[in-house]
Chain A
Amino acid sequence: MATLSRPVPATEEKMRPNIASADVQLPAVRDYEQVDREIVGTLHPTVAWFIGLGVAILFLIIGASAWMYQIYNGLGVAGYNPPVMWGVYIITFVFWVGIGHAGTLISAILYLFRAGFRTTIYRCAEAMTVFAVMTAGLFPILHLGRPWKFFWLIPYPNWRYIWPQFKSPLVWDVFAILTYLTVSSTFLYIGLIPDIAVLRDREKTNPVRKRILSVLSLGWRNSDREWRHFARAYLFLAAFSTPLVLSVHSVVSFDFAMALTPGWHTTIFPPYFVAGAIFSGIGMVFTIIIPIRKWFNLKHYVTLNHLDAAAKLALFTSLVVGCAYMTEWFVAWFSGNEAEKAFFANRIWGQWWWASAILYTCNMVLPLSLFSQRLRRNTTWLFILSIFINIGMWFERFVIVVPSLSHEFEPWQWTTYHPTWVDYAILCGSFGWFSMWFLLFIKQLPVIAISEVKEIVMPRLRTAHAHGTTVSGEHQDYEADTPGEHD
């Protein structure tokens, strides 16, 4: 913490407060009380929230019913036929793991880089991470014919003659994803402690809730000692999480890259997967944060400056991902490997051309619009684009998984793949599961970090200082969505 305010050189006026740069400032937020009042105010359930929760639970029930049907009738109902033994489930697994990456990226990497725009969006992204990884974790279990034996997946020596193979990417996955889930959840919870203390201290009417919040806040009192150690611990957690983000999706990419299958066996996969994961995660952050800022009336917290900066990050990762796509084509052509060339021809011009077209349009072409500052600051376009990015990133995983398995070395193996209604229902259920947890989260805990927002709000001072509080220079001035909205 204490990241967004700049220490003032000692030569300057003694009591001039440390202030955030202009592109981070929240001019429509005047004091700490307003921060508490408005952010805590978002916790009251509304009719729209109940409707949203109901829809999420309905989707979840659809997915759960399809899973029950699959358990009863066998995995064959999910549309898997040799050699395409991975399909929607693994695609959706990688999709959700990817979504889970942006949370820790925004939270940890941008924290280390002192990127101020993270302040108002990182809590949302962190919660998204935890719930997305929880969703991803379901898919290895859903992919089992006998899911009640899921513990066979956990690599420990046993008397079932299943000895852990530590050279297998699937075992690496278990370690990487469990570490990621644990560290992400810890990071989210540690960041929440001061905010839970705010909720505890403001709770006057419900003694049970106050008691629960007291336990969850661990008796946090905002003392200088607590803040000092908290800041250091938070920094180290961020420093651990940053390489963890890069390692986890690299490990997920090894699930594919370690196989000799055409289209998979390539060294570009780890950076390609990491960039794709960050891109998809930022897309999902936009999908979530734009409605939240509108419905909860938080436009003066998640400002256009913040969205603009996040959109630049989306543009950058889109360009990285686009570069990776083109490198794949080049490597296939330059390698002289006939199987690889034939596979890529089939992927782009053959039976899977439509999936590739969706992928390239959503991930490479449409994000180029973000070169326009006007569109980066247009929340409607950002929301629409984020939906396209989500679709594009799901199809990216489709294009990685299905065309490779359906077009391996031997022509007699070449086949096609059709997902069944069970696949679609479980995909739908995964969105229901994720949304249900997220909706429950945003009504119990603050969706914007209260204590960090207070860092960028001007503290109350007895002596008005001559310098004022604005920082001139190249930063964008604050701009309300509607002119005069917060005057």
Chain B
Amino acid sequence: MRGVLAHFKELDSLVEAIEELKAKKTGDITVYTPTPRHEIEHAIHAPPSKVRLFTLIGGLAGVTFGYWIAIWISDYWPLVVGGKAIASWVPYTIFGFEVMVLVGALSTVVGLFITSRIPKLTMTVGYDPRFSGGDYGLWLECAPDNANEAAALLRGHGATEVRSER
């Protein structure tokens, strides 16, 4: 993986650089930011997150399992009291709900891990510890032929430091 890594001190400089790189279709862009910003989100035009699918599937699986476990156990080891129904859906809704929340929340976390590609065992190319502090970073994955042009563009937009990495 080859590319150019640029440091920015100012948010507006970064956003302008992203917009121009996007317009020129120079290469894949990864932006590092100490905190999420709407401006960056709008400039990148990323598709919606797929975490929602994990949440939906987990929640549905959870509610099904919650009802099923309560009904199955009651049916298998019946406690007959006063001729009342062995499996009663009203109190069992509590199990359905609680297990839905539990499995839905945990599958959301699994979805976050899969879509964000974490945990990562090593710091990949193009990261600098300053990006969790106050600086913004822009990693542009591009062919060596385009690297010089991209570096010039990034400097032109106010990048304080630009370097090629692989």
Per-residue interface assignment for chain B, residues 32 to 56, with 1 indicating a CB less than 8 Å from any chain A CB and 0 otherwise:
1111111111001010111110010
CA distance in complex: A211, B46 (Å): 32
Per-residue interface assignment for chain A, residues 220 to 232, with 1 indicating a CB less than 8 Å from any chain B CB and 0 otherwise:
1111111111111
Contacts of B124 in A (CB 8 A): 221
21 contacting pairs across A/B (C-beta < 8 A): A1-B35, A17-B37, A31-B134, A157-B77, A163-B73, A163-B79, A164-B77, A165-B79, A166-B73, A175-B94, A182-B106, A198-B34, A202-B133, A221-B131, A225-B30, A225-B116, A229-B115, A233-B49, A233-B108, A236-B108, A461-B11
Contacts of A1 in B (CB 8 A): 35-36
Looking at chain B, what size class is its interface with the partner chain? 35 or more
Shortest CB distance A167–B (Å): 5
Q: A157-B77, A226-B116 are in contact. Are A201 and B129 (CB under 8 A)?
A: yes
In the bound complex, do residue B94 and residue A251 qualify as a contact, i.e. CB atoms below 8 Å apart?
A: yes
Contacts of B35 in A (CB 8 A): 1, 32, 451-452, 454-455
Q: Does B118 contact A (CB under 8 A)?
A: yes
Q: Does A36 contact B (CB under 8 A)?
A: yes
Q: A197-B132, A229-B116 are in contact. Are A224 and B30 (CB under 8 A)?
A: yes
In the bound complex, do residue B97 and residue A247 qualify as a contact, i.e. CB atoms below 8 Å apart?
A: yes
Q: Does A77 contact B (CB under 8 A)?
A: no
Contacts of A164 in B (CB 8 A): 73, 77
CB contact between B108 and one of A176, A225, A240 (< 8 Å): that residue: A240
Shortest CB distance B30–A (Å): 5
CA distance in complex: A221, B49 (Å): 18
CB contact between B11 and one of A17, A165, A190 (< 8 Å): that residue: A17
CA distance in complex: A92, B79 (Å): 32
Contacts of A206 in B (CB 8 A): none
Looking at chain A, what size class is its interface with the partner chain? 35 or more
Taking CB atoms and an 8 Å cut-off, the chain A residues in 350-372 that contact chain B are none
Q: A165-B79, A198-B132, A232-B49 are in contact. Are A183 and B105 (CB under 8 A)?
A: yes
Q: Does B70 contact A (CB under 8 A)?
A: yes
Q: Does A15 contact B (CB under 8 A)?
A: yes
Task: Give the residue name and chain of the A residue nearest to B48 (CB).
Answer: A232
Shortest CB distance A231–B (Å): 6
In the bound complex, do residue A233 and residue B51 qualify as a contact, i.e. CB atoms below 8 Å apart?
A: yes
CA distance in complex: A31, B40 (Å): 18
Q: A175-B98, A219-B119 are in contact. Are A455 and B112 (CB under 8 A)?
A: no
Number of A-B contacts (CB under 8 A): 204
CB contact between B131 and one of A190, A222, A233, A463 (< 8 Å): that residue: A222
CA distance in complex: A368, B99 (Å): 39
In the bound complex, do residue B133 and residue A225 qualify as a contact, i.e. CB atoms below 8 Å apart?
A: no
Per-residue interface assignment for chain A, residues 8 to 42, with 1 indicating a CB less than 8 Å from any chain B CB and 0 otherwise:
00000001011000000000000111001000000
* Chain B contact residues, CB within 8 Å of chain A: 9-13, 15, 30-41, 44, 46, 48-52, 55, 59, 70, 73-74, 76-77, 79, 81, 88, 91-92, 94-95, 97-99, 101-102, 104-106, 108-109, 111-113, 115-124, 127, 129-134, 158
Task: Give the residue name and chain of the B residue nearest to A224 (CB).
Answer: B31
CA distance in complex: A5, B92 (Å): 42
Contacts of A218 in B (CB 8 A): 113, 118-120
CA distance in complex: A5, B74 (Å): 51
In the bound complex, do residue B11 and residue A231 qualify as a contact, i.e. CB atoms below 8 Å apart?
A: no
In the bound complex, do residue B106 and residue A186 qualify as a contact, i.e. CB atoms below 8 Å apart?
A: yes
Taking CB atoms and an 8 Å cut-off, the chain A residues in 429-487 that contact chain B are 451-452, 454-455, 459-463
Task: Give the residue name and chain of the B residue nearest to A183 (CB).
Answer: B105
Shortest CB distance B126–A (Å): 9
In the bound complex, do residue A236 and residue B101 qualify as a contact, i.e. CB atoms below 8 Å apart?
A: no
CB contact between A190 and one of B50, B79, B112 (< 8 Å): that residue: B112
CA distance in complex: A229, B41 (Å): 12
Q: A176-B98, A219-B121 are in contact. Are A166 and B116 (CB under 8 A)?
A: no
Contacts of A175 in B (CB 8 A): 94-95, 98-99
CA distance in complex: A280, B5 (Å): 50
Contacts of B113 in A (CB 8 A): 218
CA distance in complex: A231, B10 (Å): 23
